[in-house]
Amino acid sequence: MPDAAPRALSYVDALREAAAQEMERDPRVFVMGLDVDDHKGIQGSTKGLVDRFGPERVFTTPLSEDAMTGVAIGAAQAGLRPIHVHIRMDFLMLCMNQLVNIAAKSRYMYGGQVKVPMVVRAMIGKSWGQGAQHSQGLHAMFMHVPGIKVLAPSNAHDAKGCLIAAIRDDNPVLMVEHRLLYPLIAEVPEAPYAARLGEARVLRKGTDITLLGISAMVPECLRAAELLREIGIDAEVIDPISLVPFDRAALAASVRKTGRLLAVDSAWTMCGASAEVAAMAAEDAPGVRIARLGFAPTTCPTAPSLEHAFYPNPAVIAARAHVLVRPDAKTWRPSPEAERSVTGLNFKGPF
Amino acid sequence: MTRPPMADLERIYRSLRLIRRAEEEVARVYPSDKIKSPVHLSIGQESIAVGVCDALRHDDIVSGTYRGHAAYLAKGAPLDRMMAELYGKDTGCARGKGGSMHLVDMAQGVLGASAVVGTTIPLAAGFALALKREGKGRVAVSFFGDGATEEGVFAESLNFAALHRLPLLFVCENNGYAIHEPTAKRWATNRLVERAASYGMPAEAVNDGDVLALRALVIRLVEGMRAGTGPAFVEAKTYRWREHVGPNEDFEAGYRGRRDLEAWQATDQVVRIGGMIAPARRAAIDAAIETEIAAALQFAENSPVPDPAQLTTDTYA
């Protein structure tokens, strides 16, 4: 194996490195999407790729998300391996028909005659007034449909492994990326590696409660676990990494041990990924106490005071976990000092 | 226009006649409920698929619609696997998972069809993008109906194909109706060819269903496309003889008149091209077609149904 020594790399740089390494390895891989070849390169995640691989393999698109998704599917059926990039997940609503009616179903409804090896990268926005249409976590809509895989890596190491796995996969794969994760740094081996899809990661071992975070809620759960530690609650934190396929066994093993589950999503809870996680836990570990957290059940506002209340945060997660673990205890909320001490996801615009 | 050589005429006639007779048999069998699929028959519209496909190479690609029996057969995909698909059999082209609306044969260059109108237009563009990169002069053809031109992806795909000079022929099979609604209730103008041309591609119409005129036009357009001149557009007017879905006529419904049908029947291309072939020769072709259809129906009847264990196979690759 070539040099696999870990280096410190940001999430966004890991994404770019994954794409570049796969494009180097496989001439069928190409990148398309509005602005993938401009000076900003999708917050840096595609920056420089056009210089290295040329405009035939890295090209911008007209603002035609519906048809461009169809173009990616057709190219994939023809044997190429497109990566279609969207700077916000909200724009996937324009791709819904192609993704749900064609991409997800082609393999099946054409009797196994075709494959659709395509990657759709989509970013969830947050903070600095992203507002109603730049902030949505819509991954559950795609989890609902058989035939699409859905990945939501929460750190740079898994971002690289997931993107490489997605590119090498023979199915349509949605990469759920959160804007606030982009600057976060982790140890990332330089040599290419593919994540094993459907394999969750236990990030923190614990015995009292399972905190399952999705995407940007993984670091928030880790912070909540720190807050809980101060009052003697030992939380286990699970990152599913892959939502479809989902590591049901890892979830079941954890909740059987802790007896309690708090599922926290970067999305709404109604019919969401957290609802699915809760249902799986209830089926696999009857008697487990379950709660969910996610976006407030309303549209995302822009005013900071409102936006702050819209999202779960470490204090809210910790307080909810406390109720699950100690239902009879007095209401508890971490002190503002403690809350500040664990806050790390700072973000300042413009994006 | 000079008449093609007799060998070409016989091939064109054979293809027209096979599609017509195969679909007439589908309609005949349909009430028996052996066909487990809604059928959208191409009867009356065969000349478009045949005129276009006869101008193509074997390694070219066509993308059809849910009214796709004609394109599938005209490109050379096997009738027996189509019939088995309609019967819901394991030997069907989609192994009993697609039915009449999702015919496919990648080996013959027939992309899978879709029941959601217009959705396959950009797929053909994506396939053409791959063909352009391959650089072997292959082209793709996207067949779609007049209704599909109202979908956003139609305009989006024309623009993208012209921008990237894709080897893609757009063929609008304009039969004048989206289900039961005439274009007059759906289009502000009839200037479809002008609309397509404005994206920057040659665009022409064939208004009378003339299979030889269409074939000659496509030969000319495709020649340029193979050399890298980019996409082209054809509006081929036609007429659906049967109801939107199902085996019957529907002139009693009142949304269109039998006189329109009779006008198109007077120029029926199956009869017209057949008339150019010596009677004895034509009889031999017809007999071979009947044998092929009978064998295809027999194949469909005798094939096994898919095992229930196949239910989830191919959900993922």
User: Are A67 and B114 inside 8 Å of each other by CB?
Assistant: no
Using the Cβ of B108 and the Cβ atoms of chain A, whether some distance falls under 8 Å is answered with: no
Rounded Cα distance, A282 and A273, in Å: 14
pLDDT, position A83 = 98
Q: Give the whole-number percent of chain A exceeding pLDDT 70.
A: 96
- Whether residue A65 lies in the annotated active site: yes
- Whether residue A134 lies in the annotated active site: yes
- Using the predicted structure, report yes or no on whether residue A158 has a pLDDT greater than 70: yes
Q: Chain A residues within 8 A (CB-CB) of chain B? A: 56, 61-62, 64, 66-80, 82, 97-98, 101-102, 106-117, 146-147, 149, 170-171
- Using the predicted structure, report yes or no on whether residue A93 has a pLDDT greater than 50: yes
The dihedral formed by the CA atoms of A162, A163, A164 and A165, expressed in degrees to the nearest 10: 50
Which helix (H) or strand (E) is B301 found in, with range? Answer: helix B279-302
Mean pLDDT across A322-331? 96
The radius of gyration of chain B's CA atoms, rounded to the nearest angstrom, is 19
Any idea which residue has 């591609």 for tokens?
B201
The string of pLDDT tens digits covering residues A273-289 is 999 999 999 999 999 99
Mean pLDDT for chain A overall: 95
The minimal CB distance from B95 to the residues A66, A75, A112 is found for A112
Q: Give the whole-number percent of chain A exceeding pLDDT 90.
A: 92
Q: Give, as one character, the DSSP assignment of residue B304.
A: P
Q: Please report the ipTM that was assigned to this predicted complex.
A: 0.96
User: Are B314 and A107 inside 8 Å of each other by CB?
Assistant: yes
- Which amino acid appears at position B213 of this protein? A
- Using the predicted structure, report yes or no on whether residue A150 has a pLDDT greater than 70: yes
Mean pLDDT across A33-59? 96
pLDDT, position A2 = 52
Q: Does B234 map to a domain?
A: yes
Q: Does B163 map to a domain?
A: yes
pLDDT, position A341 = 83
Rounded Cα distance, A295 and A299, in Å: 9
CATH value at residue B77: 3.40.50.970
The set of residues, in sequence order, having a beta carbon less than 8 Å from that of B102 and lying 6+ positions away, is A109, A110, B66, B94, B112, B113, B114, B115
Contact indicator for B222, B215 with CB cutoff of 8 Å? no
Q: Does B310 map to a domain?
A: no
Residue-level pLDDT, tens digit, chain B, 317 residues:
789 999 999 999 999 999 999 999 999 999 999 998 899 999 999 999 999 999 999 999 999 999 999 999 999 999 999 999 999 999 999 999 999 999 999 999 999 999 999 999 999 999 999 999 999 999 999 999 999 999 999 999 999 999 999 999 999 999 999 999 999 999 999 999 999 999 999 999 999 999 999 999 999 999 999 999 999 999 999 999 999 999 999 999 999 999 999 999 999 999 999 999 999 999 999 999 999 999 999 999 999 999 999 999 999 99
Give one word for B122, left, alpha or beta, with left for phi > 0 and alpha for psi -120 to 50: alpha
Using the Cβ of B94 and the Cβ atoms of chain A, whether some distance falls under 8 Å is answered with: yes
Contact indicator for A317, A294 with CB cutoff of 8 Å? no
Q: Shortest CA distance to B60 belongs to which of B199, B222, B254?
A: B222
- Using the predicted structure, report yes or no on whether residue A12 has a pLDDT greater than 50: yes
Contact indicator for A118, A77 with CB cutoff of 8 Å? no
The tokens describing A7, both together, are 């280096």
Using the Cβ of B93 and the Cβ atoms of chain A, whether some distance falls under 8 Å is answered with: yes
B contact test, residue of A59, A84, A113 with most B CBs within 10 A: A113
- Using the predicted structure, report yes or no on whether residue A338 has a pLDDT greater than 90: no
Q: Give, as one character, the DSSP assignment of residue A43.
A: G
Rounded Cα distance, A12 and A42, in Å: 9
Distances (CA, A) of A334 to A340, A342, A343, B253: 10, 11, 12, 72
User: Are A74 and B102 inside 8 Å of each other by CB?
Assistant: no
Q: Give, as one character, the DSSP assignment of residue B4.
A: P
The string of pLDDT tens digits covering residues A214-248 is 999 999 999 999 999 999 999 999 999 999 999 99
Q: Does B90 map to a domain?
A: yes
Q: Provide the pLDDT confidence category of residue A127 given band limits of 50, 70 and 90.
A: confident
Domains in chain A, start-ordered, CATH in brackets?
9-189 (3.40.50.970), 201-342 (3.40.50.920)
Distance from CA of A120 to the nearest CA of B (A): 15
Any idea which residue has 């005071």 for tokens?
A305
Using the Cβ of B100 and the Cβ atoms of chain A, whether some distance falls under 8 Å is answered with: no
Provide the 10 A C-beta neighbour count for residue A268: 21
Q: Provide the pLDDT confidence category of residue A349 given band limits of 50, 70 and 90.
A: very low
Helix, strand and coil percent figures for chain B, each rounded to 5 = 50, 10, 40
pLDDT, position B18 = 98
User: Are B121 and A113 inside 8 Å of each other by CB?
Assistant: no
Q: Does B288 map to a domain?
A: yes
Which chain B residues are Cβ-neighbours of A106 within 8 angstroms? 112
Contact indicator for B125, A71 with CB cutoff of 8 Å? yes
CA-nearest residue to A113 within chain B is: B106
Q: Measured on CA atoms in the order A5, A10, A15, A19, is the torsion positive or negative?
A: negative
The set of residues, in sequence order, having a beta carbon less than 8 Å from that of B164 and lying 6+ positions away, is B129, B132
Write out the DSSP string of B16-65: HHHHHHHHHHHHHHGGGT---S-----TT-HHHHHHHHTTS-TT-EEE--
- Which amino acid appears at position A111 of this protein? G
Any idea which residue has 């209730």 for tokens?
B185
Q: Provide the pLDDT confidence category of residue A351 given band limits of 50, 70 and 90.
A: very low
**Which domain does B231 fall in, by range?**
6-302
Mean pLDDT across A92-96? 97
Distances (CA, A) of B56 to A7, B121, B226: 54, 18, 11
The tokens describing B121, both together, are 């237009």
Mean pLDDT across A39-65? 96
Rounded Cα distance, B144 and B137, in Å: 23
Rounded Cα distance, A303 and A308, in Å: 9
Rounded Cα distance, A234 and A225, in Å: 7
Which chain B residues are Cβ-neighbours of A64 within 8 angstroms? 152-153, 156-157, 159-160
The tokens describing B227, both together, are 């050399």
Rounded Cα distance, A212 and B44, in Å: 60
Question: Which of A65, A220, A276, A307 is an active site residue?
Answer: A65
Rounded Cα distance, A4 and B46, in Å: 60
Length of chain B: 317
Question: Which of A17, A84, A86, A134 is an active site residue?
Answer: A134
Query: Domain total for chain B?
Result: 1
Which chain B residues are Cβ-neighbours of A82 within 8 angstroms? 126
Rounded Cα distance, A63 and A68, in Å: 8
